[in-house]
Amino acid sequence: MDFTDKINATNQKNSFMLHNGIRLTEMREDYAKVEAHLTRENRNLYGAVHGGMFLTMGDCAAGGAARTNGMRYVTVSNSFEFFRNTKSQHLIAEGRIKNRGRTICVAEVEISDGEGRLLCGGTFTLFCTGSLDEIPED
């Protein structure tokens, strides 16, 4: 499976990402980018982006970057920092692999708005659970 196939499969089959309006838009070795066009449902009581949306996007970008080696991963921990919020309608999360072992993978994530302002970021530790070929069809 090449990266285009992985992007298409994620965008068609990941119901959690679909539910939250997040799309995988770029993938290459040890890197993934996810994007979201925000709606009212992604915002908190004050009209700012909900912190859970930021963290969800970060997790999706980290997982995408981890999967570029053809294996499945689950997040076991993360450390996340919020710098500022935005009224922007567009978010971009980029995940880059910092270290990859046999079973543990560490990814760094940065999230920016549509104007390129850094909003938040963090470190995600993921555990390898097997080959992507072992994912059930339904």
Global pTM value:
0.93
Output b/e per residue, 38-58; b: 16+ Cβ within 10 A: beeebeeeeeebbeebbbbbb
Q: What is the pLDDT of residue 135?
A: 58
Write the DSSP symbol of residue 41: G
What's the CATH number of domain 3-134, 1.10.10.10, 3.30.200.20, 3.10.129.10, 3.55.50.30? 3.10.129.10
- Any bridge partners for residue 72, and if so which? 130
Domain map of the chain by residue range? 3-134
> What beta strand segments (E) does 1-132 contain?
22-28, 31-37, 71-82, 90-100, 104-113, 118-131
How does pLDDT run across 88-128, given as a tens digit for each residue? 999 999 999 999 999 999 999 999 998 999 999 999 999 99
